[in-house]
Amino acid sequence: MSLSEKEAREENAELIKDFVLWLENKPLSKKTIEKYASNIDFYINEYLIYDGEEIERAKDGYHGGTIDVFFDYWFPKKALWASKASTKENITSLKKFYSFMLETNSITSENYNELLETFKDYKFNWLDNMDE
């Protein structure tokens, strides 16, 4: 079933709220929690909804191709603050978010492992591209 943009944004708002509550139970500062939530909001409400043709749900945003296009092309082109440091912050935010999704049974351990493999395989390429 495909979602409308409005439905996706409503679903994402609930996810972000639950993600923040989950983070608040971790030994993290308020500033770190806000940074993670902001990065995830950008990823799921801007990037995954951006295309307009087929909205990708947050629970499906872990795929290697989706992540690679985000860091290799979309993020450096669309985020004026994109840098090596912000790329690393976003990778950490996505790891935390999809760890939350795993703990809440929204994704499987295989899905999460695919995400981690993508980061392992492509992270240094994305960071190198920031120099160009």
Per-residue model confidence as pLDDT tens for the chain (132 residues): 567 889 999 999 999 999 999 999 999 999 999 999 999 999 999 999 985 567 889 999 999 899 999 999 999 999 989 999 999 999 999 999 999 999 999 999 999 999 999 999 999 999 998 876
Residue 28 DSSP label: -
Q: How far is CA 97 from CA 6, 18, 29, 52, 124, in A?
A: 21, 10, 16, 23, 21
Give the pLDDT score at 54: 78
CA distance 13 to 132: 35
Q: Which amino acid belongs to residue 7?
A: E
Give the pLDDT score at 52: 57
Give the pLDDT score at 5: 87
3-state secondary structure of 88: helix
CA distance 45 to 58: 9
Give the pLDDT score at 51: 59
Give the pLDDT score at 53: 65
Give the pLDDT score at 129: 87
Give the pLDDT score at 131: 75
Give the pLDDT score at 4: 86
CB 103 within 8 A of CB 75: no
Per the listing, tokens 């983070």 go with 23
φ, ψ of residue 104 in degrees (nearest 5):
-95, 15
